Amino acid sequence: MMRHARTLALLALLHAGAAPTLAAQSPYSSSWDAAVLRRADVRAAMAHVEQGMPKHIEEWIRIAEMPGKSQHEQQRGVYVKAQMEAEGLRVSVDSIGNVIGVRAGTGGGPTIVFAAHMDIVHALETNLKVRVSGDTLHGPGIFDNSASVANMLATIRALNAAKIRTKGNLVFVATVQEELGLRGMNYWFAHNPKPDLLISMDGGLGPINYGALGIYWTKYVFTSPGSHTVTSRGKPTPVKAVADAIQTLYALQYGPLPEGAVINVGQIHGGVIYNGVPQEMFVTVDLRSPDPILLDSLDRTIGRIMQDAATKEKVGLRIEVEQKNQAGGITAQLEGARRHPLVQTAVDIQNQLGLTALPGAPEAIATGSTDGNVGVVAGVPSIAIGRSKGGNQHTLTEWADAPSALPATKLVLLLAVTFGDGVKVVRQAPIP
Query: Quick one: angle between helices 292-313 and 238-250, nearest 10?
Result: 150
Residue 394: CB minimum distance to Zn ion, A: 9
The region of 30-38, 181-189, 194-202, 294-302 touching Zn ion under the rule CB under 5 A is: 194-202
Residue 172: CB minimum distance to Zn ion, A: 17
Cβ count within 10 A of residue 81: 18
What are the E-state strand segments in 262-418?
A: 262-270, 276-277, 280-289, 316-325, 364-365, 382-385, 389-391, 399-401
Residue 251: CB minimum distance to Zn ion, A: 32
Asked if residue 210 lies in contact with residue 362, where contact means CB atoms within 8 angstroms, the answer is no
Nearer to Zn ion, 363 or 371 (CB): 371
Sheet holding 90-93, edge to edge: 90-93, 99-103, 170-175, 112-117, 197-201, 382-385, 208-209, 364-365
Q: Which of 369, 404, 406, 371 has its CA nearest to residue 390?
A: 404
Residue 178: CB minimum distance to Zn ion, A: 6
Nearer to Zn ion, 145 or 279 (CB): 145
3-state secondary structure of 354: coil
Size of site (CB under 5 A) for Zn ion: 3
The region of 73-81, 191-199, 202-210, 306-314 touching Zn ion under the rule CB under 5 A is: 202-210
Nearer to Zn ion, 144 or 313 (CB): 144
Footprint (CB under 5 A) of Zn ion, residues 122-181: 144-145
Nearer to Zn ion, 89 or 149 (CB): 149
Residue 144: CB minimum distance to Zn ion, A: 4
Nearer to Zn ion, 200 or 344 (CB): 200
> Any residues with CB less than 8 A from the CB of 430 and at least 6 apart, and which?
27
Nearer to Zn ion, 185 or 406 (CB): 185
Binding map of Zn ion across residues 306-345, x = CB under 5 A, - = no contact: ----------------------------------------
The region of 91-99, 102-110, 201-209, 263-271 touching Zn ion under the rule CB under 5 A is: 201-209
> What is the rounded CA–CA span in Å between residue 342 and residue 209?
11
Residue 68: CB minimum distance to Zn ion, A: 11
Nearer to Zn ion, 144 or 299 (CB): 144
What is the b/e burial string over 120-139, where b = at least 16 CB atoms within 10 angstroms of the residue's CB? bbbeeebebebeeeebbbbb
Number of helical (H) and strand (E) elements in the chain, helices listed first? 11, 18
3-state secondary structure of 188: helix
Q: Which of 196, 202, 348, 398 binds Zn ion (CB under 5 A)?
A: 202
Residue 55: CB minimum distance to Zn ion, A: 24
The region of 200-208, 257-265, 276-284, 330-338 touching Zn ion under the rule CB under 5 A is: 200-208
Residue 202: CB minimum distance to Zn ion, A: 4
Nearer to Zn ion, 141 or 292 (CB): 141
Footprint (CB under 5 A) of Zn ion, residues 383-422: none
The alpha carbon of residue 318 and the mean position of all alpha carbons in its chain are separated, in whole angstroms, by 31
CA distances from 237 to 74, 199, 267, 273 (A): 43, 49, 18, 14
Q: What angle do CA 209, 15, 207 make, to 5 degrees?
A: 10
Nearer to Zn ion, 45 or 185 (CB): 185
Residue 171: CB minimum distance to Zn ion, A: 19
Cβ count within 10 A of residue 7: 20
Interaction between residue 196 and Zn ion (CB under 5 A):
no
> Any residues with CB less than 8 A from the CB of 343 and at least 6 apart, and which?
28, 208, 210, 337, 364, 383
Binding site for Zn ion (CB under 5 A): 144-145, 202
